[in-house]
Amino acid sequence: MADEFRSRFGKMATGMARVVTTTLRGIGTAVRARPGTTLAVVGGVFALHVFLPPLLLAITRKPWTYFTFNPWLAQLPRYLISSASLDQKIDFLSRVAVFWFTADGPYGFPEWGFAVAAMDLVRFLAMSLLVAAYFALVLSRRQPERLAGWRASTSRAGGIVGAFAGVLGLSTGPCSVVGCGAPVLPVVGLVFAGLSSGTLALLSGASRVLSALVLVALTLVVAWLGWQAGSASADRRPSAR
């Protein structure tokens, strides 16, 4: 019984490793075929995540009057070598604000503020890399020699889901805001900052859930397209020889 279990576990682990290797090979091939386009998409999506919320607030509320990086960041090297525990450092650094935009209000208080923390940057980068990988895979499968080895139905399904996930991710990503009635809002919710507190709280909670779901959905789509690309590449190797 134990030997049979080990055999099944070994086969399962080998199969999973093969799937991961095939997926990474497909993604890597697509990215290497268009490195410039991939980098441009990463930069563009990252810039949208950073600048879309303050631009929406500037249009719907008031243009920002101040932007700065957190002055405390100059003390970051000293904090990293301090006696604080690793758990404390990770918890603090994940929440520390990196930079923020603010718009002055009429009574000395900010009309609104938008802050980006370290974990926000990680989320922005993860979404940017996923969207860039998705575009690289979609562009690579449009090549005539690749198209023959890929199923059209799954191609269209993956394209629709990937595009929808990318747009939804940009519109529902949670933003740390001040002066909008809730500490965290989805990007699309910034336009409706005058809603009731209950509605804003609902938008705040929904944005966190939707952002996580979008990240998972886009990861699955990229993994599926990468596996298809890697499998098609492996199938062509024997014939190329």
Chain segment 51-92, per-residue pLDDT in tens = 888 888 788 778 989 899 999 999 999 999 998 899 999 999
How many angstroms separate the CA atoms of 53 and 170, rounded? 10
Q: What is the pLDDT of residues 219-239, one digit of tens each?
A: 998 998 898 888 876 655 555
The pLDDT of residue 10 is above 90: no
The whole-number pLDDT of residue 147 equals: 46
pTM (two decimals): 0.76
- The secondary structure element, H or E, covering residue 96 is none
Instruction: Enter the tokens of residue 40.
Output: 């441009």
For residue 198, what are its two tokens?
Answer: 């209950």
Half-sphere exposure of 61 (CA within 13 A, CB side): 28
